[in-house]
Structure 1
Amino acid sequence: MKAIGYKTAGAADVLDWIEMDRPTLGPRDLLVAVKGVSVNPVDVKLRAAVTPEAGARILGFDAAGIVVETGEAVQHYKVGDAVFYAGDLTRAGTNAEFHAVDERIVGRKPQRLDFAEAAGLPLTAITAWEMLFDSFRLVEGGGEGQSLLVIGGAGGVGSILIQLAKTLTKLTVIATASRPETQDWVRKMGADHVVDHRGDLVAQMADLGISPTHVAALTATDQHWSAIIDMIAPRGQIALIDDPQGLNIAPAKPKALSLHWEFMFTRSMFATDDIAVQRDLLNRVSAMIDAGALQSTMTENAGPLGLEALRAAHIRQESGSVIGKQVFAGL
């Protein structure tokens, strides 16, 4: 089968065509004919910094497609089902004609979205859901009188996190965005207030009269760390997904703050006992999309997946200016 991968870490031009065999299925695996993929920050981070230990690595985590074969122990899907999912960091990626994935991390594709648009949701939706309900330990319908500050609200995770928080909790949501177009976007996603992360966040939050009880630090956490500590409410919760080089957590002690790492690949990497939670939450997200309770976060459909188009998408992702999600149809 055809795929796009890389053999040596570097700039976007290390991506190249790869010929490889179709994946071999494990007992719980689905073989999916890939019809849609998207680009995430993890793709460009791996390509830029991690040389494959042997041979080539196929990137791509989000996918939507059609099940064409099932492992002997598969229980929840059959050949012909339309599915979407975010993959497994330890396995070959989705920038390929066919992809093998454990059924326990796979959801049913929203019927209202085409395959490319559906592929823009799984990784970010899982991340946002786990942040709200695992990291922050919120419950659906909870959060009355509490608030959530989303730092980097216009990116892929921020776009769906704002929506899930407004739909499933009673949190007041404040999102950061600096450009007019990103500020408009986070308002469209449902943010109650917008502040500019290029300005003085502490002063802007004081002007709103809000000390957030929860902070989702999605980007530049080390840059904003002092401000987060200053403005968060005592006994507040901080969750982060980026890779700060070092954080001094000592200033968090007087307020008895809690710090959480969110990494949506943890359940699949370690085959945790509750791995199927990701299937269940993706099915919830799919149903919410079909009911009109959530909206797509896609902002660019770049057409069929191709080498030059994927290289260009990686460059855009690295620029830090992408709003929502970039998606492709299949190869």
Structure 2
Amino acid sequence: MKAIGFKTSLPISEADSLIEFDKAIPTPSSRDLLVKVEAISVNPVDYKIRQNSLKNKIQDEPKIIGWDAAGIIESTGEEVSLFKKGDRVFYAGDITKDGSNQEYQLIDERIVGFAPQKISTEMAAAMPLTSLTAYEILFDRLRLTATKDKGKSILIIGGAGGVGSVAIQLAKKILGLRVIATASRENTVEWCKKLGADVVVNHKDLVNQVKKAGYDTVDFIMDFVDVNLYWDAFVQLIAPQGMIGSISDPVDPVNLRQLKGKSVSFHWELMFTRSMFQTADMQRQHEILNHIAQLMDSGILVSTLNTTINGFNAEHLKEAHRLLESGKTIGKVVVKF
């Protein structure tokens, strides 16, 4: 089968930044599924790992990344109980194992969901990583519910990005929150409003923009961009007894002591935690993805696919990385096999 990977970390402009190669199709065992991949999407984690994981190193075998896929189950391990051959599935995967940038992939059934039935494969492939991340931070980390939190305010930093695009929808349509999203360009502002944001503010003047929109403080803040860059604004804007959640990778420490006076809690989210540590609740991701699929099939949640590149090859995958690295993408970029 064909796979795409890299032997060393290079700028995407370099010829060998991503290379095609052949490898044997693996055989599933235990709880693994062998999935014939039909479409993948690219996330910031892809280019960050490509840029940094093999700096000043050269591997003999290419490293395969990619953490979003949709496809058909080709075969199953002997302990598989949730799926059967022929099932259409979607998933984000496990950062400690080979990724989805290959024609066939082994994936643990506990982190796989049944794909939505009423949308295209590429629309489904756009959703797993961002949906799991947004869902986990809202429901598993902050433990928000419509019953106790409906009508409260949430500020979403990076509303037009992959995770932000899903978080806006979940916060508005499932939790009934008043959603303030950040965006700075006309097209990203419209994107956020289309997904359900009540107010869109410019992140370049965050505190003043939020206050002008009528909010002296907000109950919840979701950071999907850069916790260091916005930390001082968060300290000002978060309401007493509020909650802040973040997925970003701070270069500098954050001063949690600044939150003490308001009794504010801070929550990290990493979508890969459950699979990395084989947690007792690892199958929760199977359940979340199934719920996401149901929400999409019912029309409550819409796919955040915005760009489709047809054909699985190194040049097309490089183009997807270039788009993500530009920082100007809206929604998700998918490569259809």
User: d(CA) in 2 for partners of 1:72 and 1:105?
Assistant: 17
Gaps (5+ residues) in structure 1?
none
Contact 1:5 1:16 in 2 (8 A): yes
User: d(CA) in 1 for partners of 2:5 and 2:259?
Assistant: 42
Aligned to 2:29: 26
Q: Which runs of 4+ in 1 moved over 3 A?
A: none
User: d(CA) in 2 for partners of 1:196 and 1:6?
Assistant: 37
Contact 1:127 1:264 in 2 (8 A): yes
SS of the equivalent of 1:254 reads helix
SS of the equivalent of 1:84 reads strand
Contact 1:34 1:96 in 2 (8 A): yes
User: d(CA) in 1 for partners of 2:277 and 2:29?
Assistant: 16
Aligned to 2:226: 220
SS of the equivalent of 2:218 reads coil
Q: What are the within-5 Å matches in structure 2 for residues 1-331 of structure 1?
A: 1-12=1-12, 13=14, 14-51=17-54, 55-198=61-204, 200-210=205-215, 211-246=217-252, 247-330=254-337
Contact 2:40 2:100 in 1 (8 A): yes
Task: Give per-residue Cα distances to partners, 1:220-255, cap 9 Å, x unaligned.
Answer: 221111001111101111111111112222212211
Contact 2:41 2:68 in 1 (8 A): yes
User: d(CA) in 1 for partners of 2:185 and 2:148?
Assistant: 31
User: d(CA) in 1 for partners of 2:146 and 2:276?
Assistant: 27
User: d(CA) in 2 for partners of 1:185 and 1:145?
Assistant: 22
Gaps (5+ residues) in structure 2?
none
User: d(CA) in 2 for partners of 1:311 and 1:250?
Assistant: 42
1:15 offset after TM fit, Å?
A: 0.6
> What is the letter of the counterpart of residue 273 of structure 1?
A
SS of the equivalent of 1:263 reads coil
User: d(CA) in 2 for partners of 1:95 and 1:117?
Assistant: 17
Contact 1:144 1:170 in 2 (8 A): yes
Aligned residues between the structures: 329
Moved more, 311-320 or 13-22: 13-22
User: d(CA) in 2 for partners of 1:217 and 1:125?
Assistant: 15
SS of the equivalent of 2:149 reads coil
Query: RMSD across aligned C-alpha pairs, in angstroms?
Result: 1.2
1:141 offset after TM fit, Å?
A: 4.2
1:53 offset after TM fit, Å?
A: 6.2
SS of the equivalent of 1:17 reads strand
Moved more, 108-117 or 157-166: 108-117
Relative to the length of structure 2, the TM-score reads 0.95
SS of the equivalent of 1:55 reads coil
Contact 2:8 2:59 in 1 (8 A): no
Contact 1:117 1:301 in 2 (8 A): no
> What is the letter of the counterpart of residue 253 of structure 1?
K
1:209 offset after TM fit, Å?
A: 2.5
Moved more, 211-220 or 181-190: 211-220
> What is the letter of the counterpart of residue 149 of structure 2?
G
